[in-house]
Amino acid sequence: MHEVSIARQLVSQATAVAEEAGADRVEALTVAVGEATHLNPEQLGFAIETVAADTPAAEATVTVETVAPHATCECGWEGTPEDLASAYVVAPNVTCPECGARLEFAEGRECQLRSISVPDGADAAVGDERDDEETTTEPPQSPDP
């Protein structure tokens, strides 16, 4: 189950960004998971909550958003692949409906920490949006799984 190792990386990244912002805890974190990955969004959410115990993200609200796949082909075709079943056999081996060549995914293969929320009063210098109750900090982009 690679959701646990990915969850550890995401929690580590969230707590590091919170510390850089001067926060002692993470109140919420949002993760984007592409539908063309081998990750189960529900299992990833549970794994994040589990590995966050005894960290500054222990009480964080975890939101896992799915990202629909969008692919392109060298022949000019682009769109949503109809059949992703082969993406789970070979990582990914989805072919173009027009010419049969292997598609390149522009979206749908990512696993990214999109944002975190920290208590109001934290240093807002990391690149954030403020509202009345919390600071939202955008973490650096992480590589695809």
- Whether 55 and 121 share a structural domain: yes
Which residues make Cβ contacts (< 8 Å) with residue 125, sequence separation at least 6? 21
Number of domains in the chain: 2
DSSP letter (8 states) at residue 139: P
- Whether 86 and 118 share a structural domain: no
- Whether 120 and 102 share a structural domain: no
Q: For the chain, report the end-to-end CA distance as a whole number of angstroms.
A: 13
pLDDT digits (tens, 9 = 90+) for 82-124: 776 555 555 457 889 999 999 999 999 899 999 999 987 654 3
Range of the domain at 102: 69-106
Q: Mean pLDDT across the stretch 5-26? A: 94
User: Which is more confident, 37 or 143?
Assistant: 37
Written as one letter, the residue type at 25 is R
* 127: its two tokens: 């690149």
pLDDT of residue 128: 43
pLDDT digits (tens, 9 = 90+) for 24-70: 999 999 999 998 887 899 999 999 999 999 999 999 999 999 999 99
| Cα–Cα distance for residue pair 29/54, rounded to 1 Å | 16
- Whether 114 and 57 share a structural domain: yes
- Whether 73 and 98 share a structural domain: yes
- Whether 24 and 43 share a structural domain: yes
- Whether 9 and 56 share a structural domain: yes
- Whether 62 and 87 share a structural domain: no
DSSP letter (8 states) at residue 145: -
